[in-house]
Amino acid sequence: MGSIHPPSHRWYRCEVVDVQAELRYWKLEYVTREFHEPGTPFSRYEPVLRFAYDAYLHHHAQCLADVSDLLHHKYVETFDSWNMLPWPKAEAILREVWLRMGAPLESLRVRTTDGAGRRSHVH
């Protein structure tokens, strides 16, 4: 895992992840995580882990909560019902990957209401 920060683009950030190394890590660790169901082999989780790393690489600059609905839609489009884990399991895997990569799960913005009672974001 590592980051590349091109000097000419001050706000540009590119993430590089060795997905094969990450999968080796998860092959040893998956049985200790909440998403694991006893008796379920690693091969059942591997496609979702790959999906989670791909999602992280595409959305690493965003907190998981902000892209969760988008990722749920993409997940349903990507997996057929035969290979799909239930969304709560896939969502737990996404959270684990976001945490492992040091990415935020929730927005750092403070939510407030304006005078009309509508929610607005304050940085």
Dihedral in degrees, nearest 10, Cα atoms 76, 81, 83, 89: 60
Residue 31 has pLDDT above 90, yes or no: yes
Rounded to an integer, what distance in angstroms lies between the CA atom of residue 122 and that of residue 115? Answer: 14
Q: For 39-75, write each residue's pLDDT tens digit.
A: 999 999 999 999 999 999 999 888 999 999 999 999 9
Spatial contact of 94 and 52, defined as CB atoms under 8 Å apart: yes
The helix (H) or strand (E) run that includes residue 100 is: helix 87-100
Q: pTM for the full model?
A: 0.76
> For residue 30, what are its two tokens?
């998956």
Residue 16 banded pLDDT, cuts 50, 70, 90: confident
33 CB-side CA count, 13 A: 23
Spatial contact of 5 and 13, defined as CB atoms under 8 Å apart: yes
